[in-house]
């Protein structure tokens, strides 16, 4: 049963990957429309991706904890 829990926990990486890809796509689109705002857009995107990545890392940690039982 622990392997099922670990497998489900790993799926959080899929969600965070999709979210980060969508954020990057929208940031590129925004820079294309407003090149002068490149700095602000990039900083905001990086902060947002860092927050989105934490869910993936939490899922990885939970999966490792499930596997080590």
Summarised one tens digit per residue, pLDDT across range 3-62 is 888 888 888 888 888 989 999 999 999 999 999 999 999 999 999 999 989 988 998 898
Would you state the pLDDT for residue 10? 82
Question: How many domains does the chain fold into?
Answer: 1
Would you state the pLDDT for residue 23? 92
Per-residue HEC secondary structure of 43-68 comes to HHHHHHHHHHHHHHHHHHHHHHHHHC
Q: What is the CATH number of the domain that holds 37?
A: 1.20.20.10
Range of the domain at 55: 2-67
């Amino acid at each position: 049963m622990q392997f099922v829990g670990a497998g489900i926990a790993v799926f959080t990486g899929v969600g965070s990957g999709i979210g980060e890809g969508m954020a990057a796509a929208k940031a590129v689109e925004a820079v294309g429309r407003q090149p002068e705002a490149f700095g602000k857009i990039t900083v905001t995107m990086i902060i947002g991706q860092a927050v989105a990545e934490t869910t993936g890392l939490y899922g990885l940690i939970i999966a490792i904890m499930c596997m080590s039982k």
